[in-house]
């Protein structure tokens, strides 16, 4: 049985706990949150994972976990993931856009090397990352990513300063630029842009557009890539989570799959 520490207990964390509950191979025994004394969170965790405890930090002493799964947000990478890698604990990472910060990808890699372990960047809400990363080996010429979400999914982002999201009745392009800038400016909405970039042409050579679109009810992700392998075109329409409309449900399934795969002899 794998002893797992989960970082973050929001929409993704709660969904993952529900999916792995009762799995005899995975024991999530600690959930790291900024305020472990929060009574409502304690009660929610008692219901979701009766054997688990809340903590402010990952235990990195003798009782360190076999595996860490990050589903918290960009700040958790520097705060929890890098120190855990340095102590040899493998980490599954969902907040991939954090690597848009100058030097963070290098620090992550160095920490994993020092600890003799690995950080696995999860595809989250998008598919075909395996194909894109393989295609890169043959040479990619162009990779473009377009993300489209309903206007309400852009609340709490810089888009709010530029338009009244409650009044948007036509698709509005709220960002065009590199994947690095997208991930940096929209840390809760452009992790997929960063993942597509890191698998393909890199954060600075991947063109990204982000749209607030009242005509879609789902979170739409479109990849267009070409290179020596041929051409890849993918559109995914992800149902948003009720608990957080910025996040697609597939993200939860992706994290749960990675967790269960970590305990299996054959993985797919
Ligand atoms: N790769 C992908 O496809 C996707 C990645 N994400 C990433 O996942 C993150 C979490 O998503 P949701 O669960 O929907 O968000 P949420 O806002 O519902 O939950 C975030 C949780 O993490 C906790 N948290 C935040 N910073 C923390 C820290 N430094 N240490 C410990 N806990 C911390 C919060 O208190 C909260 O419990 C997003 O911020 C985003 O960066 C989200 C959707 C898709
Ligand atoms: O969940 C999604 O649809 C994608 C998302 O938020 C992100 O890329 O950060």
Average pLDDT rounded to a whole number, residues 196-224: 98
HEC profile of 135-204: HHHHCEEEEEEEEEECHHHHCCCCHHHHCCCCCCCCCEEEEEEEHHHHHHHCCCCCHHHHHHHHHCCCCC
Q: Which atom of ligand 1 has the smallest separation from the CA of 14?
A: 13
Nearest CA, atom 6, ligand 2: 189
Confirm if 148 and 222 have CB atoms less than 8 A apart: yes
| Smallest-distance ligand from the CA of 195 | 1
pLDDT for 73? 98
Nearest CA, atom 24, ligand 1: 72
Torsions phi, psi for 186 (to 5 deg): -125, 70
Between the CA of 129 and the centroid of ligand 2 the distance, in Å, is 14
pTM: 0.97
Q: Which of 184, 221, 222, 264 is catalytic?
A: 221
> Which strands make up the sheet holding 219-227, listed edge to edge?
172-178, 207-212, 140-149, 219-227, 230-238
Residue 218: Cβ within 10 Å count: 16
Average pLDDT rounded to a whole number, residues 60-87: 98
User: Which residues line ligand 1 at a C-beta cut-off of 6 Å?
Assistant: 7-13, 32-34, 71-76, 79-80, 94-97, 124-125, 187-188, 191-192, 195, 244, 247, 251
Angle at 137 between CA 236 and CA 134, to 5 degrees: 35
d(CA 134, CA 165): 39
Would residue 221 show up in a list of annotated catalytic residues for this protein? yes
Per residue in 126-137, pLDDT (tens digit) is 999 999 999 999
pLDDT for 58? 98
Is 125 annotated as ligand-binding?
Answer: yes
* CB burial readout 193-215, b (16+ within 10 A) else e: bbbbbbbbbebeebbbbbbbbee
Average pLDDT rounded to a whole number, residues 98-123: 98
Between the CA of 97 and the centroid of ligand 2 the distance, in Å, is 10
pLDDT for 193? 98
- Residue 245: enclosing H or E segment and its boundaries? strand 244-248
| Smallest-distance ligand from the CA of 5 | 1
| Smallest-distance ligand from the CA of 92 | 1
Nearest CA, atom 5, ligand 2: 189
Nearest CA, atom 3, ligand 2: 248
Confidence bin at 249 (pLDDT 50/70/90): very high
pLDDT for 223? 98
Block residue for tokens 């894109």: 132
* Percent of the residues in the chain that have a pLDDT greater than 90, as a whole number: 100
ipTM above 0.95, yes or no: yes
Where are the alpha helices (H) located in 23-127, listed in sequence order?
A: 39-48, 75-76, 82-86, 104-115
Confidence bin at 119 (pLDDT 50/70/90): very high
Average pLDDT rounded to a whole number, residues 138-148: 98
Between the CA of 154 and the centroid of ligand 2 the distance, in Å, is 11
Confidence bin at 65 (pLDDT 50/70/90): very high
Per residue in 17-57, pLDDT (tens digit) is 999 999 999 999 999 999 999 999 999 999 999 999 999 99
pLDDT for 141? 98
Q: Which atom of ligand 1 has the smallest separation from the CA of 192?
A: 3
pLDDT for 127? 98
d(CA 135, CA 230): 8
C-beta 125 within 6 A of ligand 2: yes
Between the CA of 31 and the centroid of ligand 1 the distance, in Å, is 13
pLDDT for 109? 98
């Amino acid at each position: 049985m794998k002893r797992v520490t989960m970082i973050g207990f929001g929409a993704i964390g709660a969904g993952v706990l529900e999916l792995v509950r009762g799995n005899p191979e995975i024991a999530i025994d600690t959930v790291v949150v900024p305020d472990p004394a929060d009574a409502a969170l304690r009660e929610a965790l008692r219901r979701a994972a009766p054997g688990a405890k809340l903590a402010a930090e990952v235990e990195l002493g003798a009782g360190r976990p076999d595996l860490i799964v990050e589903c918290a947000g960009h700040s958790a990478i520097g705060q929890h993931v890098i120190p855990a890698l340095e102590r040899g604990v493998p980490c599954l990472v969902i907040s991939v856009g954090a690597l848009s910060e100058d030097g963070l990808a290098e620090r992550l890699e160095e920490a994993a090397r020092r600890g003799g372990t690995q950080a696995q960047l999860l595809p989250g809400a998008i598919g075909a990352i395996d194909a894109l990363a393989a295609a890169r080996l043959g040479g990619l010429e162009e990779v473009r990513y377009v993300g489209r979400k309903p206007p309400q999914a852009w609340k709490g982002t810089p888009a709010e300063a530029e338009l009244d999201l409650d009044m948007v009745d036509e698709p509005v392009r709220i960002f065009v630029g590199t994947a690095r800038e997208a991930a940096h400016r929209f840390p809760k909405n452009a992790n997929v842009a960063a993942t597509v970039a890191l698998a393909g042409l890199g954060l600075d050579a991947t063109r990204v557009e982000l749209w607030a679109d009242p005509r879609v009810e789902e979170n739409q992700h479109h990849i267009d890539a070409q290179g020596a392998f041929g051409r890849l075109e993918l559109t995914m329409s992800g149902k948003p989570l009720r608990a957080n409309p910025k996040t697609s449900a597939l993200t939860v399934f992706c994290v749960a799959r990675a967790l269960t795969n970590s305990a299996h002899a054959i993985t797919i």
